Structure 1
Amino acid sequence: MNISNPTRILVYYPIVHTQADMGALKESVVRATLEKTGRIGLTRKKALIDQVWTEIEKSIEGMSLAFDRVRLYQDGLPVCGREAAIVAELAQQGSRNHQLLLRLMDRGAVLMGTEDRDLLLQEYQLSKQVLKGSQPRSAGVQTLRRQRSENLLTQRDHFMARRINETLRTGETGILFIGLFHSLRGYLDQDIKVIYPLQPR
Structure 2
Amino acid sequence: MRTLLYVPIIHTSADLGSLAKEVTQRGIKDLGEEIWKKHEETVLGFWNILMKYFDSIEVAGVKIYQDGMIANGEIGQKIVEEGVRSGSKNYEVISRLLQKGGVLVKTEDFHFVREERNRLLKITQATTIVGKLLWLIRYKLTKNSLLNKRDNFISKRVDETLNEGERGIIFIGAYHNIKHRLSGDIKIIEIKDSEKIRAYHKLLPFYHKYKDRIEELSRYILSEVKMHSER
TM-score category (smaller protein) = 0.7 to 0.9
Q: Which residue of 1 aligns with 2:161?
A: 167
Greater relative contact order: 1 or 2 (C-alpha under 8 angstroms, separation 6 or more)?
A: 1
Q: Any gaps of 5 or more consecutive residues in structure 1?
A: 1-6
Offset, 1:168: 0.7
Q: Which residue of 2 aligns with 1:158?
A: 152
Deviations 1:41-66 (A, max 9, x none): 22111101012112222333454x3x
> What aligned pairs does 1:13-24 form with structure 2 within 5 A after superposition?
13-24=7-18
Q: Which residue of 1 aligns with 2:206?
A: none
For 1:185 and 1:109, the matched residues in 2 are separated by 22
Cα 1:145–1:198 change in 2 (3 A) is: closer
For 2:124 and 2:174, the matched residues in 1 are separated by 19
Aligned residue for 1:108, secondary structure, equals: coil
Q: Any gaps of 5 or more consecutive residues in structure 2?
A: 194-225
For 1:80 and 1:55, the matched residues in 2 are separated by 26
Deviant stretches of 4+, over 4 Å: none
> What aligned pairs does 1:179-198 form with structure 2 within 5 A after superposition?
179-198=173-192
Tell me if structure 2 keeps the 8 A contact 1:80–1:117. no
Q: Which residue of 2 aligns with 1:135?
A: 133
Give the number of the structure whose residues are more often helix, by fraction.
Answer: 2
Give the TM-score, by structure 2 length.
0.75
The one-letter code matched in structure 2 to 1:169 is N
Give the TM-score, by structure 1 length.
0.86
Deviations 1:90-141 (A, max 9, x none): 111111110111111011000112111100111011111233451129xxx8
For 2:60 and 2:153, the matched residues in 1 are separated by 25
- Say which is worse superposed, 96-105 or 36-45, in terms of deviation: 36-45
Q: Which residue of 2 aligns with 1:90?
A: 83
The one-letter code matched in structure 2 to 1:8 is R
For 1:171 and 1:89, the matched residues in 2 are separated by 32
Q: Which residue of 2 aligns with 1:69?
A: 61
Tell me if structure 1 keeps the 8 A contact 2:69–2:108. yes
Q: How many residues align?
A: 189
